[in-house]
Amino acid sequence: MWPISEVDSAHIFDWPEGRCSIRTDPKGDLEIAAAQVPAPGISRDFMAPVDDTTNRRCQEWTMEYVRHLVAKGCIGAEAIEIVQSKRDSPTHGNGLRRVAPQLGNGC
């Protein structure tokens, strides 16, 4: 892991001492901001290079989220460059080979 920025504690929801729960509603500015950035859907062609629009990975979502946090003033702009420098290339994983569908009894 790499630190990307400092965050004011006012942006973080802190559970009362000894309490927590499993929930789906965002709490605090960071979680609310994350919920405002649409998650990438299922890729139509996971072997194709990513393009930030039709073929996105979690890394593209993370970049969009970091830009959103910077725009909202939650973190410093230096975070964008740091996160960008750690991303895989758009063709990462394309060395995989397609496998023909199996015919027969599925073994």
Is the overall model pTM greater than 0.85, yes or no? Answer: no
**Backbone angles phi and psi of 90, in degrees to 5:** -60, -20
The answer to whether 66 and 4 are in contact (CB under 8 A) is yes
- Residue-level pLDDT at 98: 59
- Taking all residues of the chain, what is their mean pLDDT, rounded to a whole number? 83
Q: Report whether 57 contacts 40 (CB < 8 A).
A: yes
Task: Report CA-CA distances (Å) from 73 to 40, 60, 70.
Answer: 24, 20, 5
